[in-house]
Amino acid sequence: MDLPAELQVMPFNLRLMELVGMWGPTSKTYRFYLSYSFGIMMILFPKIFLGMGSDRFDDIAKGLSELLFQTNLYVSVAIFAIKRSAFERMVDILSEIFRKVTGPQHPRECYEMICEQNKKNDKFAKFYALNCCFGPFVYTIPAFTTTYLRYFSASGNYTEEPLRFELPMEQEFYGLQIRTNFVHYHIFLALGQVVYCYCAYISVIKVTSMLILIKYSSLTYRLIAVQIRYLRLQLIMEKKEDYAKMKIEQLVKIVQLHESAFEMTKLVEEIVHIPMAMQFMTCIMVWCLIMLYVSTNITLTLFNLMVPFWLSVIETYGFSYLGTELMQEAAAVGTAIYELPWYEDSVELQRYYRLIIQRTQRTTGVTAAKFFYVGIEKFGSVVNMSYTYYLVLKDALSKNSQ
């Protein structure tokens, strides 16, 4: 039985994924392979194997920061696609949990919580997608404008040095003279605009899907805590002779829900733990390189770097904040179950209490490649480390230039 529209799991994201073959019929996965390969051949392959095409320090810093940002994006999306079966399993688990906790015998609060969270998720995904629609143009216009100003101001003026065009991304491009040839430059710009739009599209899928999945994982534990509080209220209202039977039935359902929520968290961890590690590592390096670039070159093309900079800030802070929230919500289930009068019950009932309490005693959250749990304090560490490495590199570069 299908869930009503207001209870469905991330429908907007699933539609976006279906368009590029990451969801829906497996016969359409060729869409993902073709578009993904196009992006690789347009950005990563030229940057890695053909080089940046410049020996200027500011161009190298800009090119490396772009390479790190794009590598993080493409590897994360590839992992997401490879883990498709785990993602499908998560959607099934969430749908089943939503179906179980919104029945007539369950508190209305659960239904309202799910509807409210789904509305917030939908608004966030659409707002992020709308903003990313402008990203490719913001990324291209500064370079395009700077180039045209140079071109028309140099028209009719003889110079020994060839006119150098500004690129949205620092890279070579399959033998084309994209920095000095006006026609080649526009070919690169046209193809680049297409691939930048694709990058924005898969960035929406990556960022919103991963953030929403972590948020959904937190929601499952909140729903369980509501079920536990509702059980306590029922115990007060029920007749004494129905007490034991009713309590066992309800506890069994809560244990099963908690097991499903725990499985959901493990699947989220399976998908995001490597992208999380890459996110934190690349953020440190990208922010450091961007600060070095800004310290040596402040031009109109600085807007190009502000796009990956702010996207990485949003992603890193979002993962950190929701990681902390997930750990807190999972621990709150243990607190809620412990507040029940478990000490008054039989050994059989206490066994169900113990199952939940044992799970909540372990830290439940998402990690960065199993090295550490992602939390808000890690975001502060990333900011401090980025600035520290920037100061070290800047000092080293200044000594070498002397």
Structure tokens at 69: 């940002």
The encoded tokens of residue 227 equal 């079920």
What's the pLDDT score for residue 16?
Answer: 95
pLDDT at 153 (0 to 100)? 78
Among 102, 88, 90, smallest CA distance to 7 is for: 102
Rounded Cα distance between 76 and 341, Å, is 46
- At 383 the pLDDT is 86
Q: What gap in Å lies between CA 338 and CA 335, rounded to an integer?
A: 5
Residues in contact with 302: Cβ distance below 8 Å, sequence separation at least 6, in sequence order: 142, 293, 294
| Most distant CA pair in the chain, distance | 101
Q: CB-based contacts of 59: which residues, under 8 Å, 6+ apart? A: 52, 170
Q: What is the pTM of this model?
A: 0.90
- Residue 105 identity (one-letter amino acid): Q
The pLDDT value given to residue 196: 92
Helix/strand/coil for 174: coil
Q: Quote the CA–CA distance of 187 and 75 in Å, as a whole number.
A: 27
- Give every residue of the chain whose pLDDT is below 70, as ranges: 1, 154-162, 232-247, 298-301, 341-346, 348-349, 397, 400-402
How do the domains of the chain map onto residue ranges?
Answer: 5-401
Q: What is the DSSP letter of 367?
A: B
User: Could you give the CA distance from residue 114 to residue 97 in angstroms, rounded to a whole number?
Assistant: 10
Q: C-alpha distances in angstroms, 140 versus 166, 207, 349, 378?
A: 10, 22, 64, 33
pLDDT of residue 274: 93
